[in-house]
Chains A and B, each alone.
Chain A
Amino acid sequence: MTPKQPGEKPGVAVRRLDLTRFRNYPSTRLEISAPGENCIVLVGENGAGKTNLLEALSYLGPGRGLRGARLDDITTNGAAGAWAVSAVFAGQGEQRRIGCAIEYANKSGGVQGRARRVIVMDETPLSGAAALAPYISIIWLTPRMDRLFQEGASERRRFFDQIVVGLFPDHARQLYAYEKTTRERLKVLTGHGNQRDETWISALERRMAEHAVAIAAARLEGLELLKTHLSFASESRFPIPVLALKGEVEDLLKVHPALAAEEQLAGLLAGERTRDGERGQTGRGAHKTDLQAWHPEKDIPASQCSTGEQKAMLTGIVLAAARLQMSVRGRSPILLLDEVAAHLDQERRTSLFEEVATLGVQTWLTGTDAAIFSPLKGKALFLHVTDGVIENINQLD
């Protein structure tokens, strides 16, 4: 493997990051410049704010943020005013400034009410986080995801959807629209005191079915691409699990053309109005799909592998997704790998660093122990984090 020279093929990268009242960062600016701009290593003790920094970054891409936190809970304790994150992204001949903040809005225009995420790109407000998908892709791996293969389907599905959004940006809009129409239908079905408007419900079901089928099609295509890519690519030393999608809409699409699948799903939904209304849940749809995974050699479910092996498989998927995205769309994602290095054995850690250094993708790594990152010396920007204060320690080494 020959390491690429810095700047040879610069991907989209964060060049400046501003945090305001974001968790333990009351007001912080971080400038990222060469050398080492493609790999940022954050070291510091637990609770110092390394993950907070990655979380802030995650709000500048599509998706619900790396912790999936309540927007209200993020503001620095005791701070007056709400949080905001802003960054300058540059690379692949483009420069963009993206900002995210929260806004409180209610119908009467007062300041009380539900927090809403507001996103601005180059001074133009976007309709939502999904609108960022064509421009920014961020993929993360955090300790919270260590049990991804054991836990319920929703976390796995979200992880996979994030990868699919990186391949097909429109997937983000479809997911958002599907979720919204699903919520609307349920609200109409559970509405009290009003006479049910069946035309309204069927309009919503048609929309749901359209979005669900688009979602399933993108997932299936994404999975196929990932598999094909993996069967040709041997660059990685990480095990890639054998993956399969298990979902009703995906199954419908395997036997019907898209329009017929929409028709079928809308019909099935219409038949379950009463049941869904009574349960307050939508019984079927794109939100029920699961991603199944098996160890590539051992022929056992990924969930039965050791914790270390599972981490290695997740890392393998993330790295493969990044490479795939570059080959499919010619755009690079940004990788946030929280506490990943520490859980890999020596050999895999070395592979990770080598891959990160040659991928041409800006990667953010965190860890408590600076020593384990020593192979990245000279290739990465080392930052020390102590209680919300970030210090460049490249010179110290």
Chain B
Amino acid sequence: MTARAFKIEQLIQLLAKMPGLGPRSARRAVLQIIKKRESYMLPLAALIREVADQIKTCRVCGNLDVTSPCHICQDPKRDTATVCVVENVSDLWALERAASYKGLYHVLGGTLSAIQGTRPEDLNIKTLIERASGGDVGEIIMATNATVDGQTTAHYIIERLKGVSVKITAIAHGVPVGGELDYLDDGTLSAALKDRKPY
């Protein structure tokens, strides 16, 4: 294999590690990217570089953004008394896509899972308790996924919030199939948020 062919192969292998992309679709993607060198490949490379240099985890909520605090935490139009607890940034983005929620977020960074070795101290739970105890937060919305681990994590957090004077609600999970927020369409997500019930 020539050096150049090897580089392209490396690019394919890196892309193939993406969820939902196998080696086949990665090859197809790389070919498409290469074909549009000027109009697509170079701007893509430059943007990836730029984001890579600037990306930060928001020190308040755990969102990914180029600033910390993130643009949501800094937005003066947001309702700072309401915090929605989600598992991952992808869930936060799903809720933002639905565009009906005007409060703030807290990204846990996963769910409790003894089998996979994710313990309470591996998640952003301590910071959540601190935020909730700070006095500014009036309502915490649990929006972890309707999976077994997601619900156990919600229970755990509620247990830890005992004694903190804050209203705790949960989004209405009538989730039919996947059980994960990311799978839901925007309308369903908005309805789930609206129909939240006290825990």
Contact = CB atoms under 8 A, between A and B. Distances in A.
B17 interface: yes
B178 A127 contact: yes
Instruction: Give the dominant DSSP class at A's interface.
Output: helix
A204 B120 CA distance: 13
Interface stretch (A195-203, A325-333, A350-358): A195-203
A181 B155 CA distance: 12
Interface string B151-176: 11001100110000000000000000
A199 B178 contact: no
A124 interface: yes
Contact of B114 (A176, A191, A199, A207): A191
Instruction: Give the dominant DSSP class at B's interface.
Output: loop
B123 to A, nearest CB: 11
A206 B112 CA distance: 15
Contacts of B155: 203, 206-207
A64 interface: no
Given A203-B159, A206-B155, A126 B178 contact: yes
Given A191-B114, A203-B155, A197 B119 contact: yes
Contacts, number: 59
Q: How large is the interface on B (under 10, 10 to 19, 20 to 34, 35 or more residues)?
A: 20 to 34
Contacts of A188: 114
Contacts of B149: 180, 184
A253 interface: no
Nearest to B121: A197
Contact of B115 (A126, A131, A183, A202): A183
B156 A203 contact: yes
Interface string B99-133: 00000000000001111100110000000000000
A124 B148 CA distance: 20
Contacts of B113: 184
B147 interface: yes
Given A125-B178, A131-B177, A197 B152 contact: no
A127 B115 CA distance: 18
B152 A126 contact: no
Q: Indicate the member of B19, B116, B148 with the most A CB atoms within 10 Å.
A: B148
Contact of A126 (B114, B151, B177): B177
B69 interface: no
Contacts of B119: 194, 197, 200
Interface in A182-217: 183-185, 187-188, 191, 194, 197, 199-200, 202-204, 206-207
Contacts of B147: 127
B102 to A, nearest CB: 30
Given A109-B17, A200-B112, A200-B120, A180 B148 contact: yes
A207 B178 contact: no
Given A127-B178, A131-B177, A200-B120, A187 B152 contact: no
Contacts of A121: 177
A180 B14 CA distance: 33
Given A109-B19, A197-B120, A207-B155, 6 more contacts: A181-B148, A187-B115, A191-B114, A203-B112, A203-B155, A207-B148
Those 5 A-B pairs whose CB atoms lie nearest each other, nearest first: A187-B114, A203-B156, A203-B155, A180-B148, A127-B179
5 contacts: A181-B152, A183-B114, A194-B119, A200-B120, A203-B159
Interface of B: 17, 19, 112-116, 119-120, 147-149, 151-152, 155-156, 159-160, 177-180
